[in-house]
Amino acid sequence: MHPHLVKVTTPELLAELTAKEAFGRYAEPWEVANVIVFLAGDYASYMTGETVAVSSQRA
C-alpha cells in the first residue's frame, strides 16, 4: 500500500483497497511514466478518444 495512504486512511479501507490490487501493490512512478511515454509516442498514433487506466485494481 502506498505510504501516503496509510497516513490518511483507516485500516479497514486499506485492507479493502489492497484486496482489489491485482498485483498486490501500488504502481511505481516509472510504470505510470511508461504509459505516458507510450501515449505521447508514435505507437499510440492511431488511438483516439480512449480512457487508459494505469491501475491494477479490479472492479
Segment 18-25 long-range contacts (CB within 8 Å, at least 24 positions apart): 20/57, 20/58, 21/56, 21/57, 22/56, 22/57, 22/58, 23/56, 25/1, 25/56
Query: Residue 42 corresponds to which cell in the numbers above?
Result: 508514435
> pLDDT tens digits for 1-58?
567 788 898 989 888 887 887 777 778 889 999 999 999 999 999 999 888 888 776 5
- Among candidates 9, 22, 14, which has minimal Cα distance to 53? 22
Question: What pLDDT was estimated at residue 58?
Answer: 59
Does this model's pTM top 0.85? My answer is no
DSSP 52: -
